[in-house]
Structure 1
Amino acid sequence: MTSNSLSTATRDELMDRARAAGIRGRSSMSKTQLAANLRESGAAGPGEGSGEGGAEGEDGGRRGTRDGRVPVGSRVESFRQLAEARARGEMVLLPRMLRGNDRRMHVRETVREDHETRIATSDVEAREKFDKLAGSVFHFFRGTNLLFYRDILGEDARMPTVLALGDVHPGKFGVMPSSDNVPVFGVNDFDDAFYAPFTWDLKRGVVGFMLGAAEKSGLKPKKQRAVAERFVRGYIEGIAAYATDGNEQDEQLRLDNAPPMIAELIGDVLERGRAEWLAETLLDEQGSGFRTDGELVPVSSRRPEFQDLVDRYVRENDVAVPARAGGMRVKDVAERKGAGTASLGLSRYFVLIEGPRADGTDDLLLEFKRARRSALAGLVPPSGFEVDRQGDRIRHAQRVHLVNGDVFYGSVDFDGHSFMVRERAPFRDDMSLGSLSAGEWKEYAGICGGVLAHTHAMSDENGLIDYDIEPAIMDAIGGHDLFVDDLLRFADEAAARVRRDHEHFVADHELGAFRSVDVVYR
């Protein structure tokens, strides 16, 4: 690559070349820094390597106190070693083999570790999250990814690797804006995306659909199993179709081609006008900025700071700013409170971008959400696919998984952390799970299985996988009935374990177990 081509390349092109050259710290570099390091012919850049810190994106360091105590901190390295040993075929003790009090202590320690920083700082939203998890098995499942994946560490090392979504359950699919600002249906959250065996998404998904169908619609075990089976078979059908047709690069689920239940969902969100959505949910009476309520806390004094941040984000992500965004002028900034389940308590900001009419009727809303460590990091079987800083990892997943997705999806570093960025639109919505009948649950599960197959099929088109992934997955699946039965038996055991773990969590929560973190005394 010549000096001239370095100066004209996009940041994505420079990132690809930096990845190939093994330049460490590349994901935190600007385009100028990337080009400079490439000119030095592979010299190490400033930085931070792969960006794999401790739980929730924290540094995992052992910070001492005056009385000699240090937090126990991250056990990532210990579990990484277990995962590597299991991937080599060694016999290791898996956390899911623990019973009784040993399992209860493992659940407690894992939840504390996963939230060390938020517990230590007495984060109000962390306490709200624990209350939320205590009140629902399904929410507990959704909010304890790390617990789930430590139970399958190093598993399925022989299986083909894909860019996995990382947290599959019925609530991870929905309607969102495409690059053309029209609603499409697909996977809608990439926080835990990671290169992993394709079966990891399926294992998380079958358990999620079982628990979701049980809690949201009261389905009995036999019908829960039928829902989970339809999810797996929808996936197999999707992968088989992509292996034959190879049309995954052009496929979107839109109003004109979606199955009836998805078309109805898209149709419903199209009825919401932007002006009404802004006035009813976000803006003050004058339309000049954010309202103040329990979810939004305006921080208008930070507007100049966020204007600089938005300008930098546009540059670093090569955002093709559409005309509807005007001049990307930051009109107001607010902290967003109480959002999410797994991410509840992580910093979020809503940034209001003034629209061309400048009257509060066509403004855009960008969300800046702090990126956390993927729950799969250090647990998947070792592979040759490197993951960059957390925000870049999430941005990469969105660009791989969605065809012509949200043009504003990106990442940026500020306040010492990595943040992902996306647009919040009036037609962002998901399925009302509590209203689904048993038959509708099966239909929805099959659709979601097919959508997941599409995201996996894109791993060799836009992702880092360097071989034809769909035939490899079909070969690994082998006999369909046996593969489905294997996953359903896994789901039966895993769902029962989640329910027992929830009982342990509730008992510990009532006793105040999550008001402090584990420490080591010198």
Structure 2
Amino acid sequence: MAEGNNKPKSSNSKASSQKRSRKATGVAPVQQLQSRVEAYRELAEAYVKYPCVMRPGDLTGLARRLHVRSTIIEDHAVRIDEKAEGASEKFEELADSLFSFFRGTSLLFHRDMLGEDERMPTVLALGDVHPENFGIMPNADNVPIFGVNDFDDVLYGPFTWDLKRGITGFLIAAKEEGDQKKKHREKIVRKFVEGYRDGMEFYARHDKEASQQMRPDNSPKVIRRMFKKARNSRKEWLWDRYLNETGRGFRANDELTPISSRISEFQGYINDVAKQNGIDPGGRAGQLKVKDVCIRHGQGTASLGLPRYYCLIEGPSKNASDDLIIEFKRARQSALEGLVPENDFVAGEKGDRIAHGQRVHLAHGDVFYGSVEIDDMSFMSRERAPFRDDIDLDDLSKDSWRDYAHACGQALAQAHARSDDAGELDYRIEPRIIEAMQPFDLFVDDLLCFGREAVKRLKRDHKFFKMDLKRGAFDMTQKHYR
């Protein structure tokens, strides 16, 4: 027998066979385009390793427009494919203003920064710093405090990434929301960075980041006004916004859809969070009994179109005056994943990562921050509260813009300073950051240059986005047809 007759079929023969089969059936293979996180991780590593590597921010013209389009589709692939309620609403909101576009496209923004600032000190970065991601929220004792309040994108990375995102946000918001002139916008940004430096120097001297909190009695005037505005009795808050006529469950309206059939299921999730965080029955959460569950519609900017549930927990009085509302929001991958320079610190995955961020960034924060699996998806949990509130940027005067920016810088400094207390860092981070900011005037000028360039790029990207939205670019995900 000839030797060649015993040879296995080559891969070329196999490919030819598959090709003939496709030709016979008339069906061409189609694949969903996959996440490009790992591809960008390799690009970030190359940027650190080699002195000259082109990054997405260097693209112009049609190449940039295609990058903007594909990145936004990738970031919203699940919502687009599932025809999620709120997905089209989010795209319309992104088109409405440059500030909304900036807030809702964190992945696009950070891909332009990939690999940047590799030499800078590492902290647990917030990831999505802007003027409206600071606010009033409950601490572990249900006392209102001011601080960073959005942990969806937390990841260990250079401290400068948060400052760069923050100053860009202040430049855009001060113009669109505050109608501030260019000279004053840049003074506001400088106050933000000065607040960060002042806070970092304070914690370097006094080592109080583990316990310090910004409360109504020790905060600057602009923040005290926020506390005053946020005051609301729990009973009025519950009855005005959430409870039905019986007080036993959620009302049904455009924002809330009761799903009372899932009470026992969500009771299990509440029990899981209580076990994670050591919450015992008998406190202000009563017996941790779930009274009702609803779907919450149309909330947030970056999270529009992602599933969100509210749980009504019966309070100790059992008269619908002191009930608690616990929110479960679908967790997504951090926009910084694969982009920050490589480091040895791990924040966790999705819901666990977000809960880790809250525990690190806030001293004695919300005890209901946790992580559960719902319908095989990762969700984070937190308490809604009558005094949970964000700044109304329209109400800020020229002077209060600067004061508010300074207070936000201080709050961010505390969040970063806690990376070596509650986080994974095993060395004091404050002295390293203070040294890395020297000479300070040069450091601020570099940040301002970054911010100016980022705003110009965002304006072009926003124009591309609006053109593509009108032409149906975001009605379906992109597929690979070869």
TM-score (norm 1): 0.86
Output the CA distance in 2 between the equivalents of 1:131 and 1:315: 40
1:381 aligned onto 2:313: no
Output the CA distance in 2 between the equivalents of 1:452 and 1:403: 12
1:302 aligned onto 2:268: no
Q: How does 1:371-410 map to 2 (within 5 A)?
A: 371-410=331-370
Counterpart secondary structure, 1:331:
strand
Counterpart secondary structure, 2:198:
helix
Give the drift of 1:386.
Answer: 1.7
Q: How does 1:11-410 map to 2 (within 5 A)?
A: 67-270=28-231, 272-321=232-281, 323-410=283-370
- Letter paired with 2:390: D
Give the drift of 1:322.
Answer: 5.8
Give the drift of 1:320.
Answer: 4.5
Output the CA distance in 2 between the equivalents of 1:332 and 1:69: 43
Superposed CA deviations along residues 460-486 of structure 1, whole A, max 9, x for unmatched, are 011001111000001111111000000
Contact 2:230 2:386 in 1 (8 A): yes
Moved over 4 A (4+): none
Counterpart secondary structure, 2:463:
helix
Which residue number in structure 1 is paired with residue 462 of structure 2? 502
Superposed CA deviations along residues 279-326 of structure 1, whole A, max 9, x for unmatched, are 000001121100011110000111111112212222234335561111
Counterpart secondary structure, 1:242:
helix
1:457 aligned onto 2:417: yes
Counterpart secondary structure, 1:148:
helix
Contact 1:328 1:354 in 2 (8 A): yes
Output the CA distance in 2 between the equivalents of 1:164 and 1:489: 21
Which residue number in structure 2 is paired with residue 440 of structure 1? 400
Give the drift of 1:499.
Answer: 1.0
Counterpart secondary structure, 1:252:
coil
Contact 2:234 2:386 in 1 (8 A): yes
Give the drift of 1:263.
Answer: 1.4
Contact 1:317 1:411 in 2 (8 A): no
Contact 2:347 2:356 in 1 (8 A): no
Counterpart secondary structure, 1:286:
coil
Output the CA distance in 2 between the equivalents of 1:408 and 1:316: 9
Counterpart secondary structure, 2:332:
coil
Output the CA distance in 1 between the equivalents of 2:276 and 2:441: 47
- Letter paired with 2:93: K
Which residue number in structure 1 is paired with residue 17 of structure 2? none
- Structure 1 residues 321 and 255: alpha-carbon distance in aligned structure 2, compared to 1, 3 A threshold: farther
- Letter paired with 1:189: D
Q: Percent identity?
A: 53
Correspondence for 1:469 among 429, 443, 461: 429
Superposed CA deviations along residues 330-369 of structure 1, whole A, max 9, x for unmatched, are 0000001101111111110000001112121111000001
Counterpart secondary structure, 1:365:
strand
Output the CA distance in 2 between the equivalents of 1:338 and 1:236: 37
Counterpart secondary structure, 2:436:
helix
- Letter paired with 2:173: G
Output the CA distance in 1 between the equivalents of 2:229 and 2:318: 27
How many residues matched?
A: 456
Output the CA distance in 2 between the equivalents of 1:322 and 1:128: 41
Counterpart secondary structure, 2:222:
helix
Which residue number in structure 1 is paired with residue 6 of structure 2? none
Which residue number in structure 2 is paired with residue 519 of structure 1? 479
Q: Decide which moves more: 353-362 or 128-137.
A: 353-362
Output the CA distance in 1 between the equivalents of 2:464 and 2:268: 47
Structure 1, gaps ≥5 residues long: 1-65
Counterpart secondary structure, 1:276:
helix
Contact 1:320 1:407 in 2 (8 A): no
Give the drift of 1:373.
Answer: 0.4
Contact 2:267 2:289 in 1 (8 A): yes
Output the CA distance in 2 between the equivalents of 1:67 and 1:129: 33
- Structure 1 residues 248 and 181: alpha-carbon distance in aligned structure 2, compared to 1, 3 A threshold: same
Give the drift of 1:67.
Answer: 4.9
- Structure 1 residues 368 and 225: alpha-carbon distance in aligned structure 2, compared to 1, 3 A threshold: same
Contact 1:73 1:116 in 2 (8 A): no
Superposed CA deviations along residues 223-245 of structure 1, whole A, max 9, x for unmatched, are 21111111111111111121122
Contact 2:262 2:293 in 1 (8 A): yes
Superposed CA deviations along residues 22-62 of structure 1, whole A, max 9, x for unmatched, are xxxxxxxxxxxxxxxxxxxxxxxxxxxxxxxxxxxxxxxxx
Output the CA distance in 1 between the equivalents of 2:166 and 2:385: 26
Output the CA distance in 2 between the equivalents of 1:494 and 1:118: 27
Output the CA distance in 1 between the equivalents of 2:417 and 2:178: 31
Contact 1:313 1:410 in 2 (8 A): yes
- Letter paired with 1:245: H
- Letter paired with 1:200: W
Output the CA distance in 2 between the equivalents of 1:171 and 1:322: 35
TM-score (norm 2): 0.93
- Aligned CA-pair RMSD: 1.2
Output the CA distance in 2 between the equivalents of 1:172 and 1:467: 28
Larger radius of gyration: 2
Output the CA distance in 2 between the equivalents of 1:70 and 1:216: 43
Which residue number in structure 2 is paired with residue 427 of structure 1? 387
Q: Decide which moves more: 135-144 or 80-89.
A: 80-89
Output the CA distance in 1 between the equivalents of 2:28 and 2:82: 18
Counterpart secondary structure, 1:419:
strand
Output the CA distance in 1 between the equivalents of 2:281 and 2:450: 46
Output the CA distance in 1 between the equivalents of 2:349 and 2:279: 19
